[in-house]
Copies of this chain bind each other. A is one copy, B any other.
Amino acid sequence: MEKGKILIVDDEADICEILQFNLENAGYDVDCASSAEEALDKLSPEHSLILLDVMMEGMSGFKMAEVVRKERGSRIPIIFLTAKNAENDLLTGFSAGGDDYISKPFSIHEVIARVKAVLRRSGGMSAEHPEDNIVSGKIRIDMSKKMVYAADNPVLLSKKEFEILYLLASHEGRVYSREDIINELWKDAPYVLDRTVDVHIARIRGKLGPYKNYLTNRSGYGYCFSPVE
């Protein structure tokens, strides 16, 4: 079993690599992103921690943290990496709101120690963030509102439809067989037919309108959610 999946966000490739290497060595699963935009794209409910550089080209780390917290409603822990010169003069090092801060230059030992601490505090390896919202392409899924937005237009899905879309969207690109979906969503009564899934998919597509092709069929395998195409 994995210890947890960490998303590293830093526009300096060296730092990403060093962190990735060492954290993977320590047994964590690691994803890297070189910008906030890329990170927001990659961020999925299976991540259990973000290591986030504050100073980056384009969207800053703080701005990204705001998006993660507010727009996506995620309470995933964040450890901020603050560069030496600019902010360290302003901030004297602290942790607030459950987040943590590490200022560069940092020792790998320190980072790993903090990562361990934060993950233990946040419930160990529970990568489950059931309140997480998903944003992918033009589709946004708001968990607390149980609503889906396609290019900001609300899409009203029934419970089953919502569950299916959420499942597929939470692992963008991954192909789910009909059997997978049934095992995951009909835990009480797994004696439903494959074709039932097809019908649900069709209904979701109908409601997604212009974005119906986000739900792709992989003939012979099943379905997957992919915003590109």
Contact = CB atoms under 8 A, between A and B. Distances in A.
Interface stretch (A89-97, A133-141, A186-194, A205-213): A89-97
A109 B90 contact: no
A220 interface: yes
Give the size category of A's interface with B. 35 or more
A57 interface: no
Q: Tell me the number of copies of this protein.
A: 2
A66 interface: yes
Which label, helix, strand, loop or mixed, suits the secondary structure of the A interface?
loop
A49 to B, nearest CB: 17
Nearest to A107: B92
A96 B218 CA distance: 36
Nearest to A145: B173
A221 B105 contact: no
Interface of A: 14-15, 17-18, 20-22, 24-26, 54-55, 60, 62-63, 65-66, 69-70, 86-94, 96-97, 99, 104-109, 112, 142, 144-147, 158-160, 171, 173-175, 218-221, 224
